[in-house]
Structure 1
Amino acid sequence: MDSEHQISVIIPVLYGDDCWKTLIADLTSFPDSSEFLFVSNGEQPAEFSELIHQFQLEERSHWYQTLVGRAHQMNYGAAQATRPHLLFLHADSGLRETGIQRLIQSLKSHPNALHYFNLKFQDQSFCLMQLNTWGVYFRSHVLGIPFGDQGLCLSRALFQELGCFDEKASYGEDHLLVWNARRKGIALQCTGAAISTSARKYQQQGWFKMTVKHLWLTIRQAVPQFLLLIKERIGSWFQGKAPSSSS
């Protein structure tokens, strides 16, 4: 069986949040060689066993309980994973069969890349969310900064090379992983397919407030990472230009 088809899907779950229940139906479209690791800071709910039985996913679905913190939960899931590729998927994501097939093709074509999806919001009933969709496309395709809600996927070897997610970061562990990949020269590859995510935070807390907050946090974290990238590239350029010393 091709290793490109063997994917460990790691899903961090916050205790008390039940949006993972909707995601389970989408997992049935993954190849039979895939496995699904739900990592939560809470104990396994009774509904979990019922749902994975309903969708015949018992043999390859696991619920793990660990400390709170998305970076820690995803690192923990990666440590338990047994497949050669890791897909980090938010619990409120939606991924159709066509998207999964595009991911598999992308893994075949670019095995040494960090893969991601285009992002769409599940409820775009108010037009302002379309601006966010365009903004995400610009950020990921033009600026080269996809986020975790776009479904980051890479080989386990590359993930270990990147040093996993930064558990000391107060936020943006996915953002930092992408910058680390860029500094190491790892290509970013969009599958060309869409993944959906919930717009509930924008609805509950207000579109303007959430958009400005996310933009500010991104800039605050991206600027030092960009400067570090430039510094390292300039350093590499000078090292390449430096004359070799004769013995």
Structure 2
Amino acid sequence: MLKEERQSYIIKQINLHNKVLSSDLSIELNVSEDTIRRDLNELAESGKVLKVYGGALSKSFHYPFQQNDVYARESKREIARKVIGLIQPGMVLLAGGGTSLIELARMIPDTMECTVFTVSPLFALELTERTGIDVILIGGNLSKNSHINTGALTISLLSEIKVDLCILGTNGISLEEGITDSDWEVVQVKKAMIRAAQKTAMVSIAEKLNSVQKMKVCNLNSIHYLVTDANPSDKLLEGYSKTVKVV
């Protein structure tokens, strides 16, 4: 594989999953970790990714207020429109983080009245001017990688609430492995969020379907809605619709 092809693959994986590890890329691309590190250094120097210890992060994920840099933004806006259709006036919601959720926060109508708990400071900030929405930020240790609050305090606070609908993004989703992620602390927070909700809506761009990360959040039958940018009748979603309501 040529360097340009390799780096294109790396950028796509970062855009899809927000974070990549050099060790994983080395195995996937069958090259040395030194080669991957050089690729990541070049991509970071050109401003395409953020280099961190052991891998790299997506720039669009870490600078979500720069709307033009968000990967697959129109797909995420389509997801946001569908999620808004699940929200009823007076609901109590619980929201995670990520660029799809940020797009949702930006599109929620000014006239909507509900209460929103969130572990994401960025999500909370996007809602501050909505007069009909009470926003409650759940505290904890702010993760530098995921930009959500994590840790024992966050999980403890989540155990004290019960919401109508939890809205979460995911780094991996497949029929066999269910919902997966690459960050242990984030996995624990997502599990606590699902436990706190009567129903859970998982959002994911269609490109991310049938991908698996190393750490499991839950099985597919633990969620109620799968919201993607694809048409629910798309063959790609055929297997998922047997277990979860596809929106």
TM-score, length of structure 2 as denominator length:
0.26
**Which structure shows the bigger proportion of residues in helix conformation?**
1
TM-score, length of structure 1 as denominator length:
0.26
Structure number with bigger Rg: 1
Does 1 or 2 have the higher relative contact order (CA < 8 Å, sep 6+)? 1
